[in-house]
Amino acid sequence: MGRLFGTDGVRGVANADLTAEMALGLSVAAAHVLAEAGTFAGHRPTAVVGRDPRASGEFLEAAVVAGLASAGVDVLRVGVLPTPAVAHLTGALGADLGVMLSASHNAMPDNGIKFFARGGHKLADELEDRIEAVYESHRHGEPWERPTGAGVGRVRSYGEGFEQYVGHLLSVLPNRLDGLKIVLDEAHGAASGVSPEAFSRAGAEIVTIGAEPDGLNINDGCGSTHLDQLKAAVIEHRADFGIAHDGDADRCLAVDHTGEEVDGDQILSVLALAMREHSALRADTVVATVMSNLGFKLAMEKAGIRLVQTGVGDRYVLEEMKQHGYALGGEQSGHVIILDHATTGDGTLTGLLLAARVAETGRSLRQLAAVMERLPQVLINVPDVDKSRVRTSADLAAAVAEAERELGETGRVLLRPSGTEPLVRVMVEAADIEQARSVAGRLADAVKSALG
């Protein structure tokens, strides 16, 4: 079988790929692995467990809580809260482990389990591998060592988590949001309670959409993956701008007062300049992935801010940030990490800081986002090719070199083998959309010819 843990925990169709038995087994395995690693040494362990509103989260939460308690871990159930809230509370409460049940921006039938280490940080890869190995060995018959009597874990609801997280968000804001009218699209997800509360308390006048989760409607035609409702609402209510989250609220995208999308690259641009102005952008550096728009790179160069680029995935952005102590990083998808105030992407925090910059400067979000010109970007997926030869094909290298010559300084080519499918992604950026389409089409043909 393939590796259970992907780049963001274990994810699949709930009750088909991700069953109650698996959730329970992985939780017991996590408790045993962390105990062996010395995380629980000298004290009774505690875990924070939260979830998004998916219907399947109810039975999966019950399974995770049962697994942890059966392994001798006390459990604080924080209920429906965003992923970054569970990470924050894991650190703030001094817990040994955090568990979030969510499939983020995926459709409702999916769900996932994400583990956080002490401090609210992502578990190291080697610990995930060990948890998976221990889970597999016990799934095939090896019995668990189980505590009895007073040794079993105790479970209690921790309703104070909501207030603690909102308080944390507000404590980070550099200024209030009075005078701003903001539409919030909560994707019928985990931030449906905390995000409107935080924006309201910060002084903004808010209009909320997608904030009535019923367990079945998460991400359904709303949120950061479907911006049309938000665009319409911003124009209808004559709002200053709109903010959209995904199901677990670790992402944030925005819409300006004209209904134009403001993507993750543009949000990073605005925040990078704001943080530098306030001497909070360490080493005058921002971290992004190779998929960031070339316009973002050019804007940062013009502003005298250094850009470090990583492989695709927020985990690589986070690794780079932690290794070198950088303060800001993120992805075009709106997954923004502000490491001084969060251990993971936090969509509500990102939205609040974006709004704070609008309030502080008195400029519209459209004006602020104009610091970066988004260059036309064309992406073509080329299926059924030998993606392993992308780096070694001489014919393909010649085609790429020719394309780069044609595009010059105002364009870019990226060929990327898919991590999960037998296909190669061809991405071309150019100052002109027709040129981008033309070059991308030729390169896609070259990929088929060289690797087919």
- Tell me which residues are annotated as active site: 104
Q: Cα(452)–Cα(447) distance, rounded to whole angstroms? A: 7
Q: Is 104 part of any known ligand binding site?
A: yes
Among 319, 364, 314, 308, smallest CA distance to 336 is for 314
Q: Are 225 and 246 in contact (CB under 8 A)?
A: yes
Q: Cα(34)–Cα(19) distance, rounded to whole angstroms? A: 22
Q: Where does residue 314 fall: left (phi above 0), alpha (psi -120 to 50 degrees), or beta otherwise?
A: alpha
Q: Cα(56)–Cα(404) distance, rounded to whole angstroms? A: 48
Q: Is 56 part of any known ligand binding site?
A: no
Q: Is 240 part of any known ligand binding site?
A: no
3-state secondary structure (DSSP) of residue 5: coil
Q: Are 253 and 264 in contact (CB under 8 A)?
A: yes
Q: Is 185 part of any known ligand binding site?
A: no
3-state secondary structure (DSSP) of residue 179: coil
Q: How far is CA 221 from CA 101, 243, 245, 351, in A?
A: 21, 15, 12, 20
Q: Are 331 and 288 in contact (CB under 8 A)?
A: yes
**Binding-site residue set for Mg(2+):** 104, 246, 248, 250
**Binding-site residue set:** 104, 246, 248, 250
